[in-house]
Amino acid sequence: MTPELFIQYLFAGITYGIIYAIVAIGFNIIYNTTGIINFAQGEFVMLGGMIAITMHSVMPIPLAIVAAVVITMVVGALIEMVFIRWLESPSVLRMIIITIGISILAREVALHIWGESVRALPYFIGNEVTSVSILGAKISPQVLWVIGVCSLMVAGLSLFFKFTSLGREMRACAANRRAATLCGINTKNMVTLSFVLSAGIGAVAGCVMSPITYSDYSMGPNLAIKGFTVAILGGLGNSVAAVTAGLLLGIIEAFSISVLPLAFQDAIATSILLLILFVRPHGLFGSSEAASLKEF
């Protein structure tokens, strides 16, 4: 393999990987405060992209993206308030089924609003054929946008959880909800906030990736499966691990193409998911003791 080819595969892998990681982080944020997997996470990404595309017809791209992210966050909050908040000590299974229902609902609504056609935001810089040369490999500037924006988001989130009191309160909820309540933290609001946050980062990812991958109403479930694989691979609830696992999966997928037929690409993610569930259900970087204490 020539060095250029290696770099080309590597960047393709990082692009997939960082998107998976963002979806996985969305899973983690909600998992940490509620203990559930929100299977509508992929729909947040879809909504972000689709709303931004619609907004772009009346305003410039940066504004359209901001508007899309804000609207998606509001949708996230509404979903939590309508479907989750009023449930009295719901079982994990029930909440998961609810999120699957929300995902289907969101897709159908999107189908009615935008129809079945595939859309895309224009490239932020240049157009479809622009490329920059990195170590002999040609990369679309949009790939750098995806990597840059997503890395910033990950960094911002870890700062938020570490150093702001709101972030600490959310982490307190994650660690022990009852103890957090006793300390005067409004855990219900924290759950709403977690939906808002993960809707927001999903929407940002949906916007930056739209020029490369296109957006359509049905893109959610595929992303959710990859994101879920990554979240499990890294260990549920651990966002730094999710980034590592995301990049790992993306790069494995990209390099697999050089030896395996392309058709097997998606089978790899599913195989990894099954393998990890059998062999290390607490994930590559999770601890089995902590996992055994969790309900799910």
Shortest approach of other proteins to residue 53 CB, angstroms?
A: 11
Q: Which is nearer to other proteins, 151 or 258 (CB)?
A: 258
Shortest approach of other proteins to residue 74 CB, angstroms?
A: 26
Q: Which is nearer to other proteins, 15 or 239 (CB)?
A: 15
- By CB under 8 A, name the binding residues for other proteins: 1-2, 5, 8-9, 11-13, 15-16, 111, 115-120, 122-123, 127-131, 137-140, 212-214, 216, 218-219, 222, 253-255, 257-258, 261-263, 265-266
Q: Which is nearer to other proteins, 122 or 167 (CB)?
A: 122
Shortest approach of other proteins to residue 217 CB, angstroms?
A: 8
Q: Which is nearer to other proteins, 4 or 77 (CB)?
A: 4
Shortest approach of other proteins to residue 116 CB, angstroms?
A: 3
Shortest approach of other proteins to residue 155 CB, angstroms?
A: 24
Shortest approach of other proteins to residue 211 CB, angstroms?
A: 9
Q: Which is nearer to other proteins, 255 or 285 (CB)?
A: 255
Q: Which is nearer to other proteins, 38 or 213 (CB)?
A: 213
Euclidean distance between CA atoms 112 and 32, whole angstroms: 33
